[in-house]
Amino acid sequence: MSTAEIAKAARALLDAVTFDDSGSNGRGGNGGLISRETMRKADELRLVLDAADRQEKAL
């Protein structure tokens, strides 16, 4: 698992959280409520981090 993959998943989650809070370009947003899409991105980051941990332990 590369740091680029971890960073990509982390950025996607950060973008989703920001969008949930305030939208983008004056559109969208969920008024601070966490969307299912954001929860999915959090789960994806969790899977990437878990894979990185397993890979590190295997070395």
Enumerate the H helices of the chain as residue ranges.
3-22, 36-58
Work out the widest C-alpha separation in the chain, in whole angstroms.
47
Whether 1 has a pLDDT exceeding 80, the answer reads: no
- Rounded mean pLDDT of 31-50? 94
Backbone conformation region of residue 31, classed left if phi is above 0, alpha if psi is from -120 to 50, else beta? left
> To the nearest whole percent, how much of the chain has pLDDT over 90?
71
Whether 30 has a pLDDT exceeding 80, the answer reads: yes
What is the pTM assigned to this prediction?
0.83
Q: How confident is the model at residue 9 (pLDDT cuts 50, 70, 90)?
A: very high
